[in-house]
Amino acid sequence: MVKSSPIEIDLHLQNIDQFFIDPELNPFKTPRLQVSGIEEAVNNLRMRKRVTGPISLNIFLPRSQIDPDLKKRTKDALAQYCDFRISQNQLQLKIERAEGWRAVLIGLIFSGICLLMILTVHLIGTLVETGFIVFAGFFTILIWMAIWNPAEIFLFWLQPYKLAIRNYGALRNAEVIIKEES
């Protein structure tokens, strides 16, 4: 078994609230614009193909912001936040799947109607061969359009929710290390 290397994420914050709350985004006051620490950590994990090793969140704070209970409070808050984000993404995943299955049903019904129209026109034989080819081609494109959206939902739209659930699950169990900013 291949041992995975630990992932270290360094977060330089002015106060612990910036771990969850975006700092003020004012380029006149702050030289480095950033997102909240947790979102920076999630973005770091999103850039990786797989998150298999243990994660260390190194939170750098000014000395005045560090107290003896901070690590435990931060770990508890991190677990609560990750649990919330996981449940929100699971809910969105269920909603998208339900909408995907509705789109499949609508696409199949619409495709069936289009195929019946093509078959009817073919059996009646009122169109010349060229007209039938154009008619059948048009309805074939409509069928393709009707089934593309459901396929796209299941192939592409669900992946970001699954990735977010995985990343927040990994962060939930991260080791939190509070360090003094030098």
Residue 31 has pLDDT above 80, yes or no: no
Secondary structure class of 26 (helix, strand, coil): coil
Secondary structure class of 160 (helix, strand, coil): helix
Distance (Å, rounded) from C-alpha 128 to C-alpha 98? 43
Output the pLDDT for position 78: 96
Write out the two tokens for 80: 């609560």
Give percent of the chain above pLDDT 90.
57
The gap between the terminal CA atoms of the chain, to the nearest Å, is: 39
Q: How many CA atoms lie within 13 A of 32 on its CB side?
A: 7
Residue 1 has pLDDT above 50, yes or no: no
